[in-house]
């Protein structure tokens, strides 16, 4: 196999399709039974990080192409940023369609990273399969864990988990921040952990991101039914609530992108992706803290942040790119994961094809 991509979320989808399109025989591996990762399987319904602050695509290529396949509407302005609303089932369908129509791409589901063999500073085998290069899109740097390379990590103090679920039968309009605040205030006063409500493409439905425990979800819904106008009949089809993990591990690469790079909108001669999303930290208290880039500014991500520092043929996409805790708080959003995934797939393919890994 030329390239193994580990992880079939936004980054791994982009990496594997891009590598296969570039002509590399590619294997996509995921411990889950099917494609999707966080973007397709956690209940999220907005892709952040695709646009600049005028609502224009920041990255051409696969990130834009994938987003256009998902699109059921126009970009939506949320405060100072733009997002793309999508349906998670469409995310999975579009990704599965790409995979099954890529002749150079094979996939292996229900398969975790079990072992990796190194020779002369290169990974030569993954799970017993001979590989020319590896792209780690696992979100938690599982390939790096298997070969023992240096990583940085976010944790629950800066990237706290949340339970994401659709909340249907809501008859109240929440068009403005003030409208949302009127709902969230009684929830907070009643002592519930922070709740975040986002629009959804489904009629009368919101996407809830709840910082509480799974046991508190039904009491929260009961509270909304009894105390908030327009929520009297609210409900969710979800029966098993699972906290989605924002925290992850980043592999130390040839360059570690910093929060300062993000906030000043740094450019790089070897740039392969762009992003304008703010630094978005989620504290253990479940509250988001945003640091925005200046108006009209975006930052670049260099190829060096997608190449491992000490392993010649290891590349990274999505949440595992070489970035510090502040920079990844911006670059972890899905639009940027699609862009860095695609770039990592192209870098890995180019290196394989030129017969070298640098
Ligand atoms: C609560 C929450 C809310 C969020 N809200 C938004 C939002 O509104 N908009 C937005 O754009 N982003 C949002 N994000 C961030 C975004 O969803 C993720 O950062 C992004 O999807 C990460 O993509 P990825 O491809 O890097 O990793 P993931 O999507 O996490 O994919 C990693 C894949 O690797 C696989 N994997 C893991 N370990 C192994 C292993 N050992 N072996 C094989 N496979 C493995 C997993 O099964 C998974 O499929 C949110 C995240 C969370 C948790």
**Is the shortest distance between the CB of 88 and ligand 1 below 6 Å?**
no
Q: How confident is the model at residue 357 (pLDDT cuts 50, 70, 90)?
A: very low
Residue 39 confidence (pLDDT) above 70: yes
Q: With a cut of 60, say whether residue 205 has pLDDT above it.
A: yes
Mean pLDDT in residue range 133-140: 98
Average pLDDT value for residue range 253-261: 98
Closest alpha carbon to 231 in 178, 193, 187: 187
Best mutation site among 39, 78, 84 for ligand 1, i.e. most ligand atoms within 8 A of its Cβ?
Answer: 39
Tally: H helices and E strands in the chain? 10, 21
Is the pTM higher than 0.75? The answer reads yes
Q: Is the CB of 48 under 6 A from ligand 1?
A: yes
- Closest ligand 1 atom, residue 8 Cα: 49
- Mean pLDDT of the 24-34 span: 98
* Tens-place pLDDT, residues 65-77: 999 999 777 799 9
Closest Cα to atom 14 of ligand 1? 333
Mean pLDDT of 25-42: 97
Whole-number pLDDT of residue 305: 98
Strands 76-78 and 81-85: antiparallel
Q: Is the pLDDT of residue 329 over 50?
A: yes
Ligand 1 centroid, distance to 9 Cα (angstroms): 6
CA of 352 to the centre of ligand 1 (A): 27
Mean pLDDT estimate for the chain: 95
The model's pLDDT over 170-189, given as tens digits with 9 standing for 90+, comes to 999 888 888 889 999 999 99
Minimal-distance CA residue to ligand 1 atom 26: 318
Instruction: Compute the distance from residue 305 Cα to the ligand 1 centre, in Å.
Output: 19
The response to whether residue 9 sits with its C-beta less than 6 Å from ligand 1 reads yes
Cα of first residue to Cα of last residue in the chain, in angstroms, is 19
Residue 358: band (very low, low, confident or very high) from pLDDT cuts 50, 70, 90: very low
Q: Give the residue whose CA is nearest to atom 13 of ligand 1.
A: 333
Is 209's C-beta closer than 6 angstroms to any atom of ligand 1?
yes
Please say whether the beta carbons of 279 and 325 come within 8 A. no
Over residues 153-167, the mean pLDDT reads: 95
User: In degrees rounded to 5, what are phi and psi of residue 18?
Assistant: -65, -45
**DSSP 8-state assignment for residue 255:** S
Residue 320 CA: nearest ligand 1 atom is 26
Which atom of ligand 1 is least distant from the CA of 32?
A: 47
Going from the Cα of 139 to the center of ligand 1, the distance in angstroms, rounded, reads: 6
Index of the ligand 1 atom closest to the CA of residue 246: 53
Residues 215-252 have pLDDT tens digits of 999 999 999 999 999 999 999 999 999 999 999 999 99
Question: What's the CA-to-centroid distance between 29 and ligand 1, angstroms?
Answer: 15
Token pair 């390939």: residue: 143
In three-state secondary structure terms, 274 is strand
CB of 286 closer than 6 angstroms to any ligand 1 atom:
no
Is the pLDDT confidence value at 314 over 60?
A: yes
Burial of 189 (C-beta count, 10 Å sphere; 0-12/13-18/19+): exposed
pLDDT category, 31, cuts 50, 70, 90?
very high
42 contacts 162 by C-beta, under 8 angstroms? no
Query: Ligand 1 centre and the CA of 5: distance in Å?
Result: 15
Ligand 1 atom with minimal separation from the 36 CA: 49
Give, using CA atoms, the residue closest to atom 50 of ligand 1. Answer: 246
> What ligand 1 atom has the least distance to the C-alpha of 48?
11
């Amino acid at each position: 196999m030329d390239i193994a991509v580990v992880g079939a979320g936004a980054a791994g989808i982009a990496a594997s399709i891009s590598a296969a399109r570039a002509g590399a025989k590619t294997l996509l591996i995921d411990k889950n039974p099917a494609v999707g990762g966080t973007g397709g399987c956690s209940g999220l319904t907005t892709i952040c990080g695709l646009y600049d602050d005028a609502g224009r695509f920041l990255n051409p290529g696969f990130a834009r192409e994938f987003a256009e396949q998902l699109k059921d509407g126009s970009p939506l302005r949320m405060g100072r940023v733009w997002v793309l609303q999508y349906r998670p089932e469409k995310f999975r369908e579009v990704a599965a369609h790409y995979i099954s129509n890529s002749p150079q791409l094979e996939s292996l589901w229900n398969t975790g990273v079990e072992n990796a063999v190194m020779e002369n500073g290169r990974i030569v085998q993954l799970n017993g399969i001979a590989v020319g290069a590896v792209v780690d899109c696992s979100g938690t740097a599982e390939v790096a864990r298997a070969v023992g390379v240096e990583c940085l990590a976010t944790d629950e103090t800066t990237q706290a988990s949340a339970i994401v679920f659709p909340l249907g039968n809501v008859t109240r309009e929440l068009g403005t921040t003030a409208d949302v605040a009127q709902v969230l205030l009684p929830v907070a006063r009643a002592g519930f952990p922070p709740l975040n409500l986002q629009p959804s493409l489904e009629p009368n439905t919101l996407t809830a991101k709840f910082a509480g425990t799974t046991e508190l979800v039904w009491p929260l819904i009961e509270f909304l039914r009894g105390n908030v106008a327009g929520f009297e009949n609210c409900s969710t089809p979800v029966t098993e609530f699972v906290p989605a993990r924002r925290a992850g591990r980043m592999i130390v690469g040839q360059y570690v992108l910093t929060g300062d790079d993000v906030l000043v909108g740094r450019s790089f001669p070897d740039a392969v992706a762009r992003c304008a999303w703010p630094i978005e930290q989620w504290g253990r208290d479940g509250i988001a803290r945003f640091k925005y880039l200046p108006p009209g500014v975006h930052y670049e991500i260099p190829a060096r942040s997608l190449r491992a520092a000490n392993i010649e043929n290891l590349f990274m996409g999505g949440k595992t790119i070489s970035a510090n805790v502040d920079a990844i708080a911006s670059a972890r959003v899905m639009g940027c994961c699609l862009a860095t995934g695609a770039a990592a797939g192209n870098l890995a393919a180019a290196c394989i094809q030129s017969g070298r890994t640098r």
